[in-house]
Amino acid sequence: MPWTRLHATKDYYYMGALLKNYPKIHATFNYSPSLLSQLEDYTADYKNMLKNEEFLSISDKKASELLPQDKLFIIEKFFPACSSSNNFIEKSPHFKQLYYRLKSSDTAAGYEEKLNLFDTQDYLDIITLFNLLWLDPVSVNSDDFLTALKNKDKKFTEEEKNKLIKEKIPQILSGISPLITELAGNGQIELSASPYYHPILPLLCDTDIADFHDGIKLPMPFRHPEDADYQIKNAIDYFARKFNYKIKGMWPSEGSVSERALKLFMDNSVQWIATDEEILSNSIGVNFADFNTRKLLYMPYVIKREGRYLYIFFRDKGLSDLIGFKYSNYEPKAAAEDLINNLKNISLSMQEHNTNGLSAVSIILDGENAWEYYKNNGYDFFNYLYEGLSNNAGIINTVTASEYINKAENILKINNDENNSPYEEGKTGIKIKPFFDIKWKPDISSEYDFSKIYNIPTIYPGSWINHNFRIWIGDREDNKSWDMLSKTRNYLTKKTAQEQGPDGGDLKAAWEQIYIAEGSDYNWWYGEDRTSGIDEEYDFLYRTHLINVYKFLKDVPPDEYFIPIIEEKRAIKPNLDIVSFINPAIDGIAGDYFEWLGSAVYFPSALSGKAMAHTDRFIRKIQYGFNESALFMRFDFIDKKVSELNDKILVIKFINSVNIELKLEFNSNNSLNILLNSQLQSGNTAVIKAAYKKILELSIPVFVLGAAPNEPLDFYAVLTYKENQIAEIERFPVNGYFEMFVPDKNFEVINWLV
């Protein structure tokens, strides 16, 4: 997927470059190491990414040499990637014109009609503008070539596109790491981390923690705090290794916290974390909708357990969400002024309590997705905001989390005349006044001292989204994904205990696949609560990581791993469905056209899942159908590949009540070996007829398949190697299975009437 690269060129360099112009403004930049490591892939070997990132590889082609599937990819992927906000489209009049040409076309238009909406110059313009629109305004405005490209807007040349793709984009990407290193080095920003692959730590520790919230059905228990610990340790190690930077604070993925997760942070000497105000509200029993009790949100807190502690900051949900979701609809200057006025009002409300200067407002939000909803990617809003904050530094002092801790501990430090008093060992190395447990539903007038820092005795488990974990668990699809993760991890644990040698596979690589699959983004898109528009791709990636665990250990993945977790995507419909009985001659020759008329026909889509280039495929299409007693199947091969089938095997797997596997081995003389694995007819292949010459044809009596009329008979087919059946060449369908039902004797009559 291209999102790391696109957001890097639109947001990651940009956020630092904007801030650098305002040295009085300090901020904390949080990164997931998995994101930064993907960014490294681009900066370390951009030429390789030109081949491996599909958006880039297609962009790199000459427009005159684009294949039909390339053009379809551009139409179906490039435009949607720019359609989340009108601000993308509005940045280029010509891109807008091309976009609406597609939008206004006949929705029932066929494949070729869609492709012919645009000529070669149009495709060149779409590619150039797509990549240009995903560049930030600072980079564009400071570069004469990019500014000229933006102003030109259409009729680009291949030379201009190539300079954009091969010179300017990698230039921006390679500037990100030095910039954040510079800003961190001079103290204008603090770097914090999320756990390495962005997992929901409380769920890794114990999925049953989600049962804390009523009315949720859970998967089989997943309890692996050791994985959560690895994700924290690996994140800290990454920053030390790549940036020579000691991480002091962490943003738990999605602000997710629980008691067990907090212990792991303290185990790893993390000094501070942050989460949402609703976690504090539910942890101390206070309603922050009340103006008076809301003052408790603007005070510091710690989590102290068994003599250890860490600071915890709670985001002001209202202010953070104004930036994330509301201010994009304001005029930039008005939005900036509104935020500054809100901060001034908070300062006034805290004036009588903030006598020693401990109060603080935490504004925490997504650092990338919001800006595409702002005009000019938020450029004007940020400049007005940073200028306004700089001019009001006497009232509003922006600090990083660690700068705040330094300030707070200096305020609370033990003076020489208090040496015999109880104290805490501060994170800055000085003795500070002790923490006190906050009471449940504290009376702000009599039970809360604004000159102290309070410990929260028990943290409410949840995330910054509705203070629960329901986004990632509880739906049928979510729970299915957790069960598959548990199953795969249990398998890997057993393999690890066997201490396989190098010939038995790569255990380290297999474990890394587990840690990747623990990332939160996959379950974010499962279930009915939200959709990305590309849910199938996330699902495919998730299952691929689990499949890789088996493949790395030279083992066969379970069949279910090739079937989408997304329920509506499991059963694949053919391009043409079965409409009548057929009685083809099984001779391996594409003879009479009418032999297969009435069968189902399936052509692989150019964009289906892990779709391969046309030249990499063996099978061109599949047909299948019935007569009253047999199932017929036909596989048409791409001509130039027929001679290369000799060391291959075709596996057809039927996946209903009786699992049946049929294997067809191709021999050099065009003969076939037929192998049947069935509880009903194991080894009895005499009743199965098959022939292979120009095409492969076969017939299987329905009784062999154990299916009665009107019962489902679903299947998929895999082309692989005789000597290495783990290494798949091609799978039909790419994801899921073909859904069909055994017809009864009245099938033709009913279909004719319909």
Q: Give the tens place of pLDDT for each residue, 339-370.
A: 999 999 999 999 989 888 899 999 999 887 88
- Average pLDDT rounded to a whole number, residues 731-736: 88
**Into how many domains does the chain fold?**
4
Cα 391 from Cα 395, distance rounded (Å)? 9
What's the pLDDT at 444?
87
Q: What is the pTM of this model?
A: 0.91
CB distance 723 to 558 below 8 Å:
no
- Distance, in Å, from the CA atom of 326 to the CA atom of 374, rounded to the nearest integer, reads 10
Q: What is the pLDDT of residue 610?
A: 44
Write the CB contacts of 65 (distance below 8 Å, at least 6 apart in sequence): none
> Distance (Å, rounded) from C-alpha 145 to C-alpha 128?
13
Residue 249 and residue 297 in contact, taking contact as beta carbons nearer than 8 Å: no
In a domain, 340, yes or no: no
Burial class from Cβ neighbours inside 10 Å (0-12, 13-18, 19+) for residue 565 reads buried
Residue 384 located in a structural domain? no
170 plus 261 within the same structural domain: no
Residue 307 in this model has a pLDDT that exceeds 50: yes
Two tokens at 41?
A: 């892939």
3-state secondary structure of 583: coil
CA distance 464 to 93: 38
| Out of 299-303, 467-471, 745-749, least confident range | 745-749
C-alpha to C-alpha distances, 348 to 354, 374, 393, 451, 452, nearest whole angstrom: 10, 30, 15, 17, 20
Give the separation between CA 93 and CA 154, rounded to whole angstroms: 9
pLDDT for 470 equals 92
* Same domain for 414 and 482: no
- Per-residue confidence (pLDDT) for residue 657, from 0 to 100: 65
Q: State whether 519 and 560 are in the same domain.
A: yes
Q: Do residue 43 and residue 72 come from a single domain?
A: yes
Q: How many residues does the chain have?
A: 754
Query: Where are any strands of DSSP class E within 629-701?
Result: 630-637, 648-655, 659-666, 672-677, 689-692, 695-701
Domain end call among 452, 469, 486: 469
> Can you tell me the mean pLDDT for 536-553?
92
CA 315 to each of CA 276, 280, 498: distance values in angstroms, whole numbers, following the listed order? 5, 10, 47
The pLDDT-based confidence of 614 (bands split at 50, 70, 90) is very low
If pLDDT is split at 50, 70 and 90, which confidence band does 754 have? very low
Higher pLDDT among residues 536 and 700, named by residue: 700
Q: Residue 529 pLDDT > 80, yes or no?
A: no
255 and 295 in a single domain? The answer is: yes
With H, G, I as helix, E, B as strand and everything else as coil, classify residue 549.
Answer: helix
Question: Any idea what the Cα angle at residue 645 is, between residues 587 and 685, rounded to 5°?
Answer: 50
Beta bridge partners of 28: 190
Other Cβ atoms closer than 10 A to 78:
24
Please name the residues in contact with 518: beta carbons below 8 A apart, sequence gap of 6 or more.
Answer: 197, 199, 204, 227, 231, 485
Asked if residue 733 has a cis previous peptide bond (ω within 30° of 0), the answer is yes
Q: Give percent of the chain above pLDDT 70.
A: 93
Percent of the chain with pLDDT over 90: 69
Q: How many CB atoms lie within 10 A of CB 54?
A: 15
Question: Does 620 map to a domain?
Answer: yes
Same domain, 352 and 435: yes
> Is 407 or 531 the better-scoring residue by pLDDT?
407
Mean pLDDT computed over every residue of the chain: 90
Distance, CA of 465 to CA of 753 (rounded, Å): 53
Write the pLDDT tens digit of every residue in 497-522.
987 544 556 899 999 999 999 999 88
Question: Do both 627 and 505 map to the same domain?
Answer: no
Q: Model confidence at 638, in pLDDT bands (50, 70, 90)?
A: confident
- How many angstroms separate the CA atoms of 652 and 654, rounded? 7
The verdict on 408 and 454 lying in the same domain is: yes
Q: How many Å apart are CA 544 and CA 38, to the nearest integer?
A: 18
pLDDT at 609: 45
With cut-offs at 50, 70 and 90, classify the pLDDT of residue 535.
confident
Range of the domain at 611: 571-753
Return d(Cα 331, Cα 561) in angstroms, integer.
49
38 with 173, same domain: the answer is: yes
Report the C-alpha gap between 525 and 522 in whole angstroms. 6
Q: Please list the alpha-helical segments (H only) found in 600-667.
A: none
The b/e string for 143-177 (b: 16+ C-beta within 10 A; e otherwise) is beebeebbeebbebeeebbeebbbebbbebbebbb
Cα atoms in the Cβ-side hemisphere of radius 13 Å centred on 411: 17
- Tokens coding 372: 């595409």
How far lies 319's CA from each of 287, 326, 335, 361, in Å? 17, 10, 11, 9
Q: Is the dihedral of CA 166, 169, 171, 177 positive or negative?
A: negative
What's the pLDDT score for residue 513?
A: 97
Separation between Cα atoms, residue 337 and residue 151, nearest integer Å: 31
In a domain, 563, yes or no: yes
H or E element that contains 3: helix 3-7
Q: What token pair was written down for 582?
A: 């057929």
Q: What is the mean pLDDT of residues 556-575?
A: 89
Alpha carbons 210 and 261: distance in angstroms, whole number: 13
Distance of alpha carbon 225 from alpha carbon 234, whole angstroms: 14
Tell me which of 29-43, 179-193, 355-369 is least confident: 355-369
Cα separation, 49 vs 39, whole angstroms: 10
The Cα–Cα gap between 605 and 676 comes to 30
Mean pLDDT confidence for 50-77: 94
Whether 717 and 649 have beta carbons less than 8 Å apart is answered as: no
| Residue at which a domain ends, from 567, 589, 608 | 567
- 753 pLDDT band, cuts 50/70/90, is very low
Confidence of residue 531 (pLDDT cuts 50, 70, 90): low
| pLDDT at position 317 | 97
Spell out the residues 6+ positions from residue 561 whose beta carbon is closer than 8 angstroms to its own: 484, 543, 546, 547, 550
CA–CA dist 257, 275 (Å, integer): 8
- The domain that holds 612 is classified in CATH as 2.60.40
User: What gap in Å lies between CA 412 and CA 436, rounded to an integer?
Assistant: 13
Distance of CA 230 to the CA centre of its chain: 20
pLDDT of residue 319: 97
Distance between CA 100 and CA 200 in Å, rounded?
A: 40
pLDDT band at 647 (very low <50, low <70, confident <90, very high): confident
Same domain, 406 and 299: yes
Mean pLDDT for the stretch of residues 305-325: 96
Could you tell me if residue 70 is inside a domain?
Answer: yes
The answer to whether residue 326 is domain-embedded is no
H helix runs in 268-360, sequence order = 277-284, 317-321, 332-349
Q: Which span out of 74-88, 150-164, 576-590 was modeled with the highest average pLDDT?
A: 150-164
DSSP H or E segment with residue 55: helix 54-59
| Residue 502: predicted pLDDT | 45
Note whether 98 and 174 are same-domain residues: yes
The pLDDT value given to residue 564: 92
Q: What is the pLDDT of residue 12?
A: 95
Do 608 and 551 belong to one domain? Answer: no
CA distance 218 to 483: 10
684 has pLDDT over 80? no
Residue 382 within a domain: no
For residue 498, being part of any structural domain is answered with yes
